Amino acid sequence: MNKNGILLFLILTITSPVLAQTFTVKGHVKTALGEGIPNASLVLTNTEYATVCDSSGSYRLKRIKPGDYTLEVSAVGYKSVVRTLKLTSNQTINLTLDESIQQLTSVEVRAEKSKTFGITRLNAIEGTTINAGKKSEVIVLDDITANKATNNSRQIYAKVAGLNIWENDGAGIQLGIGGRGLNPNRVTNFNTRQNGYDISADALGYPESYYSPPAELTDRIEILRGASSLQYGTQFGGLINFKLKEGPVNKPIEVTARATAGSWGFFNTTNSIGGTVKKLQYYTFFQHKSGNGWRPNSEFNVNTAYASATYAFTNKLSLTVQYTYMNYLAHQPGGLTDAQFAIDPHQSVRARNWFNVNWNLGAAILDYQISDRLKFNSRFFGLAAGRFALGNLDYINRLDPGLARDLYKDNYNNYGNESRLLYTYKINGNPQNLLVGLRYYRGNTDRSQGLGNSNSTGTPADFMFVNLADYAYSQYTFPNYNLALFAEHILRVNSKLSIIPGIRFENITTKADGFYSVINKDQAGNVIFNQRIEEHKNNVRHFLIGGIGLSYFQNQALQVYANISQNYRAINFNDIRSVNPNIQVDPNLQDERGYSADIGVRGNLSGILNYDVSLFTINYANRIGTVQKSDPVTFNIYRYRTNVSQSRSLGLESFAELELLHFIDKQNSRTRLSVFTNLALINARYINSDEPAYRDKKVELAPDVIFKTGLSFQHKRLSATYQLAYTSDQFTDATNAVFLANAIDGLVPAYTVMDLSGQYKLSKVFMLQGSINNLANARYFTRRADSYPGPGIIPADARSFFLTVQVKL
């Protein structure tokens, strides 16, 4: 090789690592007052590099090759900024935009600065998930004015169509929502996740969520309806994913402190610290919440902590580690009969019922951008948790005899992994997306039910058994296993039309090893018969479900979506064995099968009108429900959980939000006023039944009408929201009973509730928030319980007041 060739070889050898290297530009776009500008656009001109700011004004441009660039930053209503930069390393660039005085249409200004007062939709692809062709809603918590200290579900989910909400307590400790006529109990009919991984007690065997992320910790809530079963598993309701807050990318430390005081001794304090230091992004959070509750015997104490750290090894590879802790002790006032509720819904006739939950949730998330076309995400997660319930679960129309209380203990130990690979390629110039995934899940629940020890005859929260070997109602171990393979594909026919087929293979094994006791008592509560029955069950299922979706994207103002997907829901532990005087389970209970379908149209007309109107159907071939039965010996009425029959649900869901001031003052960009309506019409009935008692009867917990409306107002630093929610009457069992003396079944009458919330930003550091829940002081209830926190009618809280002070540094 000659000298010139050797020199060229040395130059290429030295410079090639540099040329192959890529860098990141990140930062924050804010106003002159220091407030973040959401949706600000950042573009490196004459390149493919572009992004938009998140709700806090943060941005990140990744995998940029070295070189000289021109960065252009713009947001409608603000003066554009142009910067030149020479990129030889990672850079943090913070920018301030001044308000523009040029003549722009106010429609565009409002569309960019605040699209729809806190409600938006998922993109067709987010990370390694496919959402195209599905009905979705995203609640942006920072953009809504609501009582976040109490996790007020009525206010937070006001713009999500068709949700039936149970109000278990005034502090929002547990979330209870159901959609399209599905049971709201602890979100059991949704696949419930946090940052993409499971948070329920046992996602397969006992999918109840005793832990719900605090609204003050949550950045946004993502909701996908029934077609999500192909990616997220066996459920009919869909997916709820809580995406938690992260530390800001533009500063090494940010501290936020909030304190809330309210009615009946309510106190809440929240503190968080987050930021980014070099390659490490971190966020920590702690919340303490306590109060006495509206009714007697309703005091509670809740502590929640969360920590997250993300380390970016390179611009393409990052690892996130997260840990969540929650513990609460709640005194439960019990239920009421219809007569007691009519006389005084404030009263409590149970003083010895307690509930204790301890939650430890961990996760490790790996994100790897293998190439420009290939993304990989893997989530490892685990849960170590417990739930203890103590009290008298006898019929609420009987006096508490003061004997030893029933004690139920669950311990959950679960772990799993879900890995996804998203590949992008082109056909005739149209990008195509293929998603494949694998999920492994191992769950184990230890459940014991028996009498509390002799000291538990009083009122203290004493969660100890009395000689469990001799006085156990039941004692079980419930191990279960799940292996699933799934795939979904966006086939873009052209730039507007996409077809989305999907498939999922499930292998499910559920086991039950233990015993239960048949115990009869006399009228004084003395045990007169006790027989122990050993039980060992092993249920293995393999099945395949499929579905297909369609998406037509004309423009932002007009989108059409449709899908049909098979669903499957395995029976859970409560369906296998439950010892409760108010409920019994059919020993021949079978899994539920069926399908769900949606067709709808949605869009956003330049920020003036945001809408989504859809029709849906859910069909169960073997729906599990409850019917009334009478004990042949004692003649007591109880709920009997069984496969009732086939059920069919048809419905319409609609949401619309209109920006009113556009028609009054197009030039005013500082003041906004919008009105929203949210209407769901549901017709859910049991069909093709051989049993006359519930032939053509309404499905329980499926109100015919759910209607919400409200006004949102903002002027400079002041914002306020008024909301009204109406839910029509609903039955609680498949026989459509109107009244039972023990109140565990019967009609839940229609109710209307109003709320008012507001906030004022004194500066970029201080903010005040306030709310009045149940503005008209309505007396109503949303549920009849058969166990905790009842049994009987669970009254909703009366009018309450709350005030929050926030400091952010």
List Cβ<8 Å contacts ≥24 apart for 151-155. Answer: 151/175, 151/212, 151/214, 151/215, 152/755, 152/771, 152/773, 153/177, 154/723, 154/725, 154/753, 154/755, 154/773, 155/721, 155/723, 155/755, 155/757, 155/771
- Fold topology of 19-102: Immunoglobulin-like (2.60.40)
pLDDT for the residue numbered 158: 95
In sequence order, what are the beta bridge partners of 616?
Answer: 598, 651
Alpha-carbon distance 277 to 282, whole Å? 8
Q: Output the CA angle 757-344-356, nearest 5 degrees.
A: 70
Give me the count of residues in the chain: 809
- Which residue is it, tokens 């006399």? 522
Domains 19-102 and 240-274+281-808 share a fold: no
Q: Around Cβ 806, how many Cβ atoms within 10 Å?
A: 19
pLDDT for the residue numbered 526: 65
Alpha-carbon distance 486 to 508, whole Å? 14
Report strand pairing: 637-659 vs 583-585. Answer: parallel
In sequence order, what are the beta bridge partners of 558?
Answer: 555
Residue 337 structure tokens? 């009969």
Minimal CA–CA distance to 670: which of 722, 717, 711? 717
Is residue 51 within 8 A of residue 64, CB to CB? The reply is no
Q: Enumerate residues 6+ apart whose C-beta is below 8 A from 8.
A: none
Helix H or strand E encompassing 156: helix 153-156
Alpha-carbon distance 571 to 520, whole Å? 27
In sequence order, what are the beta bridge partners of 369?
Answer: 375
User: Given a cut of 70, is residue 465 above it in pLDDT?
Assistant: yes
Cα 151 from chain centroid (whole Å):
12
Q: In whole numbers, what is the pLDDT of the chain averaged over residues?
A: 87
Tally: H helices and E strands in the chain:
7, 43
Alpha-carbon distance 628 to 735, whole Å? 7
Confidence of residue 107 (pLDDT cuts 50, 70, 90): very low
Residue 383 structure tokens? 């849960």
Encoded amino acid at 187, one letter: V
Inter-CA distances, 528 with 374, 518, 531, Å: 67, 11, 10
Query: pLDDT: is 80 or 487 the higher one?
Result: 487
Q: Is residue 789 reached through a cis peptide bond, with omega within 30 degrees of 0 on the bond before it?
A: yes
pLDDT for the residue numbered 48: 65
Is residue 466 within 8 A of residue 518, CB to CB? The reply is no
**pLDDT, mean of residues 424-446:** 94
pLDDT for the residue numbered 346: 96
The model carries a pTM of 0.84
Q: Enumerate residues 6+ apart whose C-beta is below 8 A from 634.
A: none
User: Given a cut of 70, is residue 663 above it in pLDDT?
Assistant: yes
Q: Output the CA angle 741-743-748, nearest 5 degrees.
A: 125
Alpha-carbon distance 489 to 425, whole Å? 11
User: Given a cut of 60, is residue 17 above it in pLDDT?
Assistant: no
217: left (phi over 0), alpha (psi -120 to 50) or beta: alpha
Report strand pairing: 751-761 vs 718-727. Answer: antiparallel
Query: pLDDT: is 612 or 634 the higher one?
Result: 612
Boundaries of every domain in the chain: 19-102, 240-274+281-808
Q: Which residues of 341-352 are buried (b: 16+ CB within 10 A; e: fewer)?
A: beeebeebbbbb
Helix H or strand E encompassing 109: helix 106-113
Alpha-carbon distance 269 to 271, whole Å? 7
55: left (phi over 0), alpha (psi -120 to 50) or beta: alpha
pLDDT for the residue numbered 470: 63
- Which residue is it, tokens 């930069």? 85
- The 3-class secondary structure across 175-219, one letter per residue, is CCEEECCCCCHHHCCCEEEECCEECCCECCCECCCCCCCCCCCEE
Is residue 406 within 8 A of residue 462, CB to CB? The reply is no
pLDDT for the residue numbered 156: 96
Confidence of residue 102 (pLDDT cuts 50, 70, 90): very low
Minimal CA–CA distance to 743: which of 337, 393, 434? 337
pLDDT for the residue numbered 460: 85
Is residue 285 within 8 A of residue 305, CB to CB? The reply is yes
* Phi, psi values for residue 582, rounded to 5°: -95, -10
User: Given a cut of 70, is residue 100 above it in pLDDT?
Assistant: no
pLDDT for the residue numbered 184: 93
CATH architecture under which domain 240-274+281-808 falls: Beta Barrel (2.40)
**pLDDT, mean of residues 428-448:** 94
Residue 455 structure tokens? 């000291």
Cα 303 from chain centroid (whole Å):
19
Residues 190, 192, 196, 199, CA torsion sign = negative
pLDDT tens, 195-204? 999 999 998 8
User: Given a cut of 90, is residue 165 above it in pLDDT?
Assistant: yes
**What's the distance, Cα to Cα, between the start and end of the chain in Å?**
63
pLDDT tens, 273-300? 999 999 999 999 999 999 999 999 999 9
pLDDT for the residue numbered 163: 95
> Poorest-confidence range of 384-388, 515-519, 520-524?
520-524
Residue 286 structure tokens? 């702690």
Q: What is the DSSP string of 747-770?
A: -B--EEEEEEEEEEESSSSEEEEE
Residue 759 structure tokens? 């906030």
pLDDT for the residue numbered 627: 74
Encoded amino acid at 678, one letter: N
Query: pLDDT: is 345 or 30 the higher one?
Result: 345
